[in-house]
Amino acid sequence: MSDQKPPTVREALQAGARKLTETGIDTAALDMSLLIAEAIGLDRMGVYLNFDRPLNQTERQKIRALFDRRMRREPIAYILGRREFHGLTFEVNPSVLIPRPETEHLVETAIDWLKEFRSGVQTSVCSGTPVIADIGVGSGAIAVSIAHAVPTCRIIATDVSPDSIEVARRNAEKHGVADRIEFGAGELFEPIHEPLDAILSNPPYVPETDRATLAPDVIDYEPHAALFSGPDGLDCIRELIAQAPRHLKPGGLLLIEIGAGQSLAVETLLAQTGSFQSIGFIPDYAGIDRVAKAIKR
Ligand code: SAM
Ligand code: GLN
């Protein structure tokens, strides 16, 4: 065996990607390149630039250990302990939902609104430092991205999961915005005791009945409290919409991420409160209404 040549980066990549594909993972080559990069201390470009480099035994063992986790369908973000979102790197672990690209639509909409707020276009809202709530902060993807992009705002971030608040707090510190985000553990608005200029939320919205349709990567690893919300997925959204008017200043913004096919029901819920004007929806890149937007009268 000793005269056998050690496998190269290319060979490990090809063999690993083939096995991941066979288990039904459709991002196999990408995933394998990320795992190899992590194991040998390079970035992904480094992997491609070192295709012919032989792997020593320690490196092969490290790759194997990461590969075995992915074969069991553990998400890449949990294996690496991080995920990119809105241009920032977030620490993640199984106590938080892995930030999704769709949620960047909510972040972008909020940032645009806050820019108008600063330039005085939102005349009905008090001027000065906008106070924003992020309900269900998870990893901090929304709160930290917005605090990072809009240096004048203050954010109150809540979650029912104290573990996720710890992760979000570390992400706020890592990106230098911890002094502008207050964290509170509790149900929805429970930890909030001041009027808000904006309420942002990516609540759980997956219908319980969709359980069987979710990929093992999601259902077996991500926190169910971050995903499911009653038979139609709308339990949390219903409560958010019912309670939001009491917490928003006149002219204040409400943004809620929603699931495919929920916009009609959400529009009705918003209209029924009688508290909102300009109710609308922002589509994601797939054309699905992804963010509900409403302004408090
Ligand atoms: N904001 C993060 C993001 O966009 O990636 C996480 C969103 S995740 C879909 C929903 C979060 O809401 C989870 O962290 C969950 O613990 C939290 N959550 C669920 N029900 C809640 C409730 N009633 N009150 C506050 N937070 C809740
Ligand atoms: N987009 C997530 C999924 O489909 C759900 C996130 C949520 O419920 N807010 O897995």
Task: For residue 292, give the CATH number of its domain.
Answer: 3.40.50.150
Protein residue with least CA distance to atom 5, ligand 1: 99
- The verdict on 18 and 110 lying in the same domain is no
Structure tokens at 293: 């937007």
Instruction: Kindly state whether residues 231 and 155 are assigned to the same domain.
Output: yes
Q: Which atom of ligand 2 is nearest to the CA of 257?
A: 9
Total-model pTM: 0.95
pLDDT at 123: 47
- How far apart are the C-alpha atoms of 111 and 94, rounded to whole Å? 28
DSSP for 67-79 reads: HHHHHTT--HHHH
CATH code of the domain covering residue 29: 1.10.8
Query: Which tens digits make up the pLDDT trace of 236-280?
Result: 999 999 999 999 999 999 999 999 999 999 999 999 999 999 999
163 pLDDT above the threshold of 80: yes
| Same-domain status, 176 and 99 | yes
Q: What ligand has the least distance to the C-alpha of 215?
A: 2
Residue 78 lies in a domain: no
Q: Whose CA is nearest to atom 7 of ligand 2?
A: 204
pLDDT digits (tens, 9 = 90+) for 28-64: 999 999 999 999 999 999 999 999 999 999 999 999 9
Residues 221-241 have pLDDT tens digits of 999 999 999 999 999 999 999
Does residue 240 share a domain with residue 176?
yes
Residue 204 located in a structural domain: yes
150, containing H or E segment: none
Pocket test for ligand 1, best of 84, 85, 91, 97 (most atoms within 8 A of CB): 97
Domain that holds residue 228: 94-296
Classify residue 146: in a domain, yes or no: yes
* Ligand 1 mutation target, pool 91, 202, 247, 291, most atoms within 8 A of CB: 202
- Regarding whether 143 and 46 lie in a shared domain, the answer is no
The answer as to whether 196 is a domain residue is yes
3 in a structural domain:
no
> Both 116 and 236 in a single domain?
yes
Domain count, the chain: 2
